[in-house]
Amino acid sequence: MWWLGPVAAIIALGFARLFYQQMMRLSEGNEKMQFIAQAVREGAMAYLSRQYRVVSVVFAVLFGIFLILSYFKLQNPIVPFAFITGGLFSGLCGFIGMKTATNASARTAFAASKSLNDGLQVALRAGAVMGLVVVGFALLDITVWFLLLYYLFPVFLPESFISLAANPLPQITAVMLSFGMGASTQALFARVGGGIYTKAADVGADLVGKVEANIPEDDPRNPATIADNVGDNVGDVAGMGADLYESYAGSILATSALGVAAVGLSGVAFLDGKTELQAGLAYISAPITLAALGILLSIFAIYLVRTREDADQAALIGALSRGLYLSSIGIAVLSLPIVFLLGLPNWLAIWLCILAGLIVGIVVGKATEYYTSHAFQPTRDIAAQAHTSPATALIEGLAVGMESGGLPIAAIVVGIIFSYYVAGGAVNLLMGLYGVGIAAVAMLSTLGFTLATDAYGPIADNAGGNAQMAGLDKVVRERTDQLDAVGNTTAAIGKGFAIGSAALTSMALLAAYLEEVRLVLTELRGVNEVVIGNQVVNVTQMTMQNFMEYYNVTLLNPAVLAGLFTGVGTAFIFSSMTMRAVGRAAAGMVEEVRRQFHETPGILEGKEKPDYARCVAISTAAAQKEMIAPALAAIIVPVVVGVIFGIAGVLGLLAGTLATGFALAITMSNAGGAWDNAKKYIEIGEFGGKGSQAHKAAVVGDTVGDPLKDTAGPSLNILIKLMSMVSVVFAGLIVAFGNGQGLIGMFLH
């Protein structure tokens, strides 16, 4: 049933095109609205073109490195090309999503002048373009690569190491994982660069405009307002789309690789009379078919969303949640006959893992909603503390962020344990981790809809900016503010889904890494036997426990501890690098806005037009400069640790990064979202409303939270998976040093 994958992918792309065409037929409003929208479009496209030029250089260098590794038989020669396509499609999704969003903002504002539901529909359908191109291109690329590797390459490129043997699936899934590294690399550059851009502009616009000059948000007198609106698109749309593209693709690829590895070591228990090849194909088909089902139900869910004119924030969130719940129920019901028809021997167990993934996703989403929406007490408590002082608002926001990680972490832990043992982990470790992987796929199966609600947020935000700058009626701004406040919560929920799935997917990638090591040892280096203790063991028959023993993967091994602490340190240092980058870029923006207000007093009087282009240029240049170091660190650290400490060090590194990065990302994302919505809660009239001391204190909290929720936090999600993918792709190089013992191991022995 794997053929459902490409069929559903094409349907997704077809509906994305339909929604885009429908949106483009709508009016952009009056001439001023069109002018503002065009300025944002030009700034966004100028930034993205510069970013892609920088990223293309990095990809060219990595492509050359992979070719060299292939020449020395440390890597499959197809890997460089799979890597390139992963990055290409990730970038394409970001481009299409941003183009759609920048065309949708003025149309959303104009639709909101008619009714709240009209504004919601335009923003959501435009967001759906992003959601559907992400799932469509990801699933299409995965299935096309599988078809090429399975049917064509063994015949026409036998030197590709994908032989015509009885079971070529291990080689195929290993190559496809490198596609995931390309997607993750592009995603990290997009998320870090876009996050730096958007938050530099946002901080400058808020601190000088709202706090010092006491003018409204998105006031056309603020020189940073166009850059701020551009930033919403390059960070929260293009960056987010690339982010979730790699999450979605990574979960499917890791699960497929584990399914193939599991049946290879399962014996008769998980074969059920099938050959190893037949069973492997069934376990590859399961995540692909589940993703295809999720696409169809996501499209159905998009059509279900509507709201009343008098809807408050809770009602709007309920309207969006209805689509998520119904699509999740649809997957829960329809996936049962699908896994049965696939002929999986443990089909009922796999279905229970799917249910676990759906439940974990909903729990993470609801927990995020509770801690970030001003419909609930935690965010209102921050607003109440802002009435006291900025310091107490900051303290309360940090406390909320830290507390918010408790329930998602508990849900992830329960989901991992349940899925692992239900899938058969007690008998076959790899099959247990396959269960964890399929839970991650289930969690992201509704991504077409989840990402639509996520991308809808920055579109609504830009619509509010357009309405403010164009001087539309007050009721239009009130409606867009309602949509924007909900968008902050849905964006936080989307980040929660991405971070939660990263935890589940990374568990699967740890095992996929060891399977890649097995392939490198046998297929590329010709190592058929290794000595474990006093026994000679065939590499093809080694269990995960054998690998752990051979590489001494225990907490008593200093190499594992060194990797573990390096992983913990990497998560913190990476966060520090991205936050400082935002701080430096924001400082330049603040100085520029102050300079314009000081040197041209007519700007604040409304007699002179600000120099918007200068602020756009500052954010663009800062983002391009600052995104390089954090992104390269994520690629370099796993290779250096592997060369020095070997396989044991890498596994420690990945475990440390996973545990620390997950908790840190949840804390930062939710704290930032809560601070933002506390500000919006005050802006609707609570604690003195706009311009009050409470409002100014809340703006400070929102400003501190900006780099947490839109740069450092979501970037950690990508860091976790990129480091795992880098380890998989560079496994050949690591194994070259003492068969994976590292320089330390070689020296000691």
Task: Give the domain ranges of the chain.
Answer: 4-142+169-511+551-748
Read off φ and ψ for residue 532, nearest 5 degrees.
-120, 110
Handedness of CA 211, 217, 223, 226 (dihedral sign): positive
pLDDT digits (tens, 9 = 90+) for 599-622: 888 888 888 888 888 888 888 888
Select the more confidently predicted residue: 458 or 18.
Answer: 18
Closest CA to 51 of 190, 174, 168, 149: 190
Query: According to the model, what pLDDT value does residue 393 have?
Result: 95
List of residues 6+ apart from 685 with CB closer than 8 A: none
Residue 420 pLDDT class (50, 70, 90 cuts): very high
Is 224 in contact with 200 (CB distance < 8 Å)? no
Residue 297 three-state SS = helix
Helix (H) or strand (E) holding 37: helix 31-71
Select the more confidently predicted residue: 148 or 525.
Answer: 148
Q: Supply 430's token pair.
A: 């790899």
Query: According to the model, what pLDDT value does residue 478 have?
Result: 86
Paired strand residues for 626:
none
Select the more confidently predicted residue: 563 or 513.
Answer: 563
**Average pLDDT of span 413-418:** 94
C-alpha to C-alpha distance for 708 and 365, rounded to whole angstroms = 18
Query: According to the model, what pLDDT value does residue 664 have?
Result: 94
Residue 87 pLDDT > 80, yes or no?
yes
Residue 166 pLDDT > 60, yes or no?
no
Select the more confidently predicted residue: 374 or 396.
Answer: 396
Buried (b) or exposed (e) across 455-474, using 16+ Cβ within 10 A?
bbbbbbbbbbbbbbbbebee
Residue 164 pLDDT > 50, yes or no?
no
Residue 485 pLDDT class (50, 70, 90 cuts): confident
Query: According to the model, what pLDDT value does residue 153 have?
Result: 66
**Side-chain half-sphere exposure of 361, counting CA atoms within 13 A:** 30
Query: According to the model, what pLDDT value does residue 628 have?
Result: 86
Mean pLDDT over all residues of the chain?
Answer: 87
Select the more confidently predicted residue: 153 or 351.
Answer: 351
Is 232 in contact with 40 (CB distance < 8 Å)? no
Is the pTM here over 0.85, yes or no? yes
| Helix-strand-coil split of the chain, %, nearest 5 | 85, 0, 15
**Average pLDDT of span 53-64:** 92
List of residues 6+ apart from 360 with CB closer than 8 A: 411, 412, 414, 415, 439, 443, 500, 504
